[in-house]
Chains A and B, each alone.
Chain A
Amino acid sequence: MSKQRINVSRREFLIQSAAVGAGLSLGLYLPGCSDNAAPKPAPLSESGIPEVNAWVVIEPDDTVIIRIARSEMGQGTLTGLAQMVAEELECDWSKVRTEYPTPGQSLQRDRVWGSFSTGGSQGIRGSHLYVRKGGAVAREMLIQAAAEQWQVAADECIAKNSVITHTPSGQTTTFGKVASAAAELFPPEHVDLKDPKDWQLIGKPVKRLDTDDKLNGKQVFGADLVLPDMLNADIKACPVFGGKVKSFDASKVSAMPGVRKVVKVNDDAVAVIADTWWHAHQALNALPITWDKGDNANVSSASIDAMLNEGLQAKKAFLGNENGNARKAMQDAAKVVEATYHYPYQNHATMEPMNATARWTPERCEVWCPTQNGEAALEAAAEAAGLPINKCEVYKIHLGGGFGRRGAFHDFVTQAVAIAKQMPGTPVKLLWSREEDMQHGHYHPITKCKLTGGLDKNGELQSLHVRISGQSILAGVNPNWMDNGVDMFTFQGMLPGEEHGISYSVPNLLVEHAMRNPPVPPGFWRGVNINQNAIYMECFIDELAHAAGQDPLAFRRKLMKDHPKNLAVLNAVAEKAGWGTDAGEGIFRGLAVCNAFAAYVAACAEVSVNSDGQIKIHRIVAATDPGYAVNPQQIEAQVEGSFVFGLSALLYGECTIKNGGVEQTNFNNYPSMLMKEMPKVEVIVMPSGGFWGGIGEPTVAVAAPAVLNAIYAATGKRIRQIPLKHVDLKATA
């Protein structure tokens, strides 16, 4: 790619920023075109300094403040986005700080910062163009301001490291000295973005910008927020999905220490408001509540399983991907292999439970919360407040984990506002207990999958039929995002194309989905549908390779000729792991590869299983090709972390349903993996350029299948249902 010339028209910018959020975008209005003449005087930054443009504020001491619209939840996006602005701005990286604009400010300014949505691994790849442009425009304005002061031509000046130099004369100034003059200028009509080969800061493993306060307790998370005169609330919603509050007896707890008020919240929850959260929690636990359990009180894991089993056999199903004629080709197969897999409900279990703080008056509503989508939080706040959106504001706070739980759903905001409305003028912080968080999630959806593969007499895969049965996330979250009733996202990793594409070319392919939606709320869960689909596809391909009597790597390679990027990451892990060589006494390897969120990832796991059936994951080699690598060391951190998330899901992750609600309550019965279970992870970051892929999610999906395939190699046992806590791998079993 060479230099890109970018027009600085507001209309183009808006259309683009609307398009990138497509999958998760909101129904927010897109204002019409406004021209380049931004209203003057330029808006001030939080510190009262006029901004150069929406993305950049330079203080007189040369401090650079970069505005970040997406949310930081651990994934490093804050630093990566700042790197991209700074790359074009040509500022001194050591002087960079960041700040979050509010969603209310963004609405007032025609959504100048684009999407706030931080999901779908979109943070970097969805905004790289306009944030780089933001940096470039600010640079040009700073140069122009210096040139005007010197009365020289701007094209004789260059900016580097926050210093502007007039090349012919050698005179210099700094960004801080010309920033206020630059703020008065009109932006240039177009700017040139650098050729990626000229990037100095993008691609560098710089340290995160948000670490210091995380080392000493100063970082304020939503749960930590304290406002003057603030009260605290704890909440219980009906433990049965769809159930409601019938009655509660506030008199039983109103005299308990600190209790101020017991309130009904919407029609399905009760909250206690108290001086401290501990007091609210104690009183809530003592509060007698009677529930109207509604229609779902008899729903159980067994009844859901029956729904899914019916879907596996059903005549009708939605089509996801098809070529050739898989059903017919299956009849001609020399050998047919068939297997059924299962993936359970799982909770996001962010370390910081859901929370939001709200202050409501009849005129205004303000909300402070950790959110993956500030604009969606603002919409939820306005709706709950019963106020126009311009009378509401949301202040974003760093998230103690997101993983998809805090993006499409702002139930915690709706509740916080509903509580605050019953205490007008007083800020109330609502913090869910872990038990509430565990039982009122928006869960990783449940599915089963029957796969049938037809091999010819040479052991070549001629036909593959994939029948998914189970829950659609989009149907549960927002049916408007579906395509005529079809949830194409269900087929993630099995679709044509390079966003969530299948890694293999099979002459006869049929992928379909029998949608069966149990009354358990589904949600986007880090990785989303690729988590189960990669298990289904990668474990079954492994089954087919063994059925064909072929090496699983060689078998895959033959099917991947038309998928060079998928093949490249697979080859990279195989080579680094030493596929085909001895892994050590009792240690066996397994592979997995996939394309999701426009990135290509693969893993090779090394696993041993002892005679007691105990699994040890010794080492994982992982490769990722995200197109461009903005911060390689943060990509490594995301890849390592993805294995903790994916392996926790594999080892322990399961929410079971009884009497219409989730049985698990806390980390004692919904465990997450610990340090002692963590394998060594070797990360290969191999950006091949020319496209932008996501980082935070894709690798989660290869964790489980790579380990499951290694367990098969070690034991000869094919595990088709997770989590492994249910599986007995004893040698005699």
Chain B
Amino acid sequence: MPKITVNGKQVSVDAEADMPLLWVLREKLGLTGSKYGCGIGICGACTVMVDGQAVRSCVVPLSSLSETTPIVTIEGLSSDNNHPLQQAWKQLDVPQCGYCQPGMIMSAVALLKDNPNPSDDDIDAGVTNICRCGTFNRVRAGIHLAAQIGKRGRSE
């Protein structure tokens, strides 16, 4: 049985090799925070971190993951909503319906990991998720705010 490492825990998965990571997470591991939006790697609602990179998990087959490849989903971001992005999102009331937000946040996590102080252009390039409610401007403000919160956290 294939094994993968999700949010720090190695788990066995009873699934075919071609099952996309998104459906492994949702239907085999009960991690439904990552959403199905398009199934073709465009909308970004399924975004998770794989080996430190933001990926569209709906187009990542289980077979492409090793036992030790670290996978982080929205459920693994923090235990108490205390990640800088979660704090910023809360402070600015970013989500509307909220369906795209786990993917949006995970894209932002990847962006901030490589670029702790992104410009608007960096955010435009790094966050390509679709939001139909229209939270983009608060997402942008949220990333800037999270960058500040992260900076404070690092200097403490």
Contacts and interface: CB of A to CB of B under 8 A. Distances in A.
B11 interface: no
Contacts of A276: 23, 27-28
Interface in B61-79: 73-75, 77-78
Interface string B127-156: 111111111111110000000000000000
Given A75-B96, A277-B23, A223 B132 contact: no
B9 to A, nearest CB: 16
Interface in B22-50: 23, 26-28, 30-40, 42-43, 45
A680 B140 CA distance: 11
A585 interface: no
A220 interface: yes
Contacts of A214: 95, 98, 101
Contacts of B74: 216-217
Contacts of B128: 674-676
B132 A349 contact: yes
A217 B129 CA distance: 17
B97 A676 contact: no
Contact of B95 (A211, A349, A352): A211
B81 A678 contact: no
Contact of A641 (B38, B86, B133): B133
B122 to A, nearest CB: 11
A350 B33 CA distance: 17
Contacts of A212: 81, 90
A685 interface: no
A277 B99 contact: no
Given A221-B35, A433-B39, A350 B132 contact: yes
A207 interface: yes
Contact of A215 (B30, B105, B130): B105
A351 interface: yes
B125 interface: yes
B40 A351 contact: no
B137 A678 contact: yes
B26 to A, nearest CB: 8
A436 to B, nearest CB: 11
Nearest to A213: B98
A668 interface: yes
A265 to B, nearest CB: 20
Interface hub of B19, B81, B130, B133 (most chain A Cβ within 10 A): B133
A360 B31 CA distance: 27
A217 B34 contact: yes
B78 A216 contact: yes
A672 B132 contact: yes
Contact of B97 (A400, A642, A643): A400
Interface string B88-121: 0110011111111110010000000000000000
Interface string B6-17: 000000000010
B43 A633 contact: no
A216 B31 CA distance: 11
Contacts of B132: 349-351, 401, 403, 644-645, 648, 672
**B interface, size bucket:** 35 or more
Q: Among B101, B125, B137, B139, find the residue whose CB has the most chain A CB atoms closer than 10 A.
A: B137
A309 interface: no
B124 interface: yes
A73 interface: yes
A349 B133 CA distance: 10
Contacts of B35: 221, 223-224, 351-352, 400
Contacts of A219: 98
B130 A645 contact: no
B43 to A, nearest CB: 5
Contacts of B73: 217
B54 interface: no
B100 A351 contact: yes
A257 interface: yes
Given A276-B27, A351-B131, A667-B42, A641 B124 contact: no
B147 to A, nearest CB: 16
A634 B81 CA distance: 22
Contact of B134 (A213, A642, A668): A642
Nearest to B91: A207
B133 A216 contact: no
A74 interface: yes
Nearest to A348: B132
B123 interface: yes
Nearest to B143: A675
A457 interface: no
A216 B131 contact: no
A213 B89 CA distance: 12
A644 B23 CA distance: 29
A522 B95 CA distance: 29
Contacts of B81: 212, 215-216
A609 interface: no
A666 interface: yes
Given A218-B33, A351-B43, A666-B42, A637 B130 contact: no
B11 to A, nearest CB: 16
Contacts of B135: 637, 640-641, 644
B89 A675 contact: no
Nearest to B40: A666
Nearest to A665: B40
Interface in A350-407: 350-353, 398-403
Interface string A214-239: 11111111011010000010000000
A208 interface: yes
A401 B133 CA distance: 7
A272 interface: no
A673 to B, nearest CB: 8
Contacts of A401: 97, 99, 132-133
Nearest to B107: A675
A199 interface: no
Interface in A289-335: none
Nearest to B121: A676
B149 to A, nearest CB: 14
A215 B123 contact: no
Nearest to A212: B81
A672 B26 CA distance: 25
A73 B27 contact: no
Contacts of A223: 32, 35-36
A681 interface: yes
Nearest to B20: A278
Contacts of B98: 74, 210-211, 213-214, 219, 221, 398, 400
A633 B99 contact: no
Contacts of B77: 216
A351 B134 contact: no
A399 B96 CA distance: 10
Contacts of A643: 134
Given A215-B90, A640-B138, A674-B128, A73 B32 contact: no
A400 B89 CA distance: 18
A349 B37 CA distance: 10
Contacts of B30: 226
B32 A278 contact: no
Contacts of B39: 433-434, 666
The 10 closest A-B pairs by CB, nearest first: A217-B33, A644-B134, A641-B134, A74-B97, A400-B99, A214-B98, A74-B96, A676-B124, A224-B32, A278-B23
14 contacts: A74-B96, A207-B93, A211-B95, A215-B105, A216-B78, A276-B23, A278-B23, A353-B37, A401-B132, A637-B138, A644-B136, A672-B130, A675-B123, A678-B137
Interface of A: 73-76, 207-208, 210-221, 223-224, 226, 232, 257, 276-278, 349-353, 398-403, 431, 433-434, 633-634, 637, 640-645, 648, 666-668, 672, 674-676, 678, 680-681
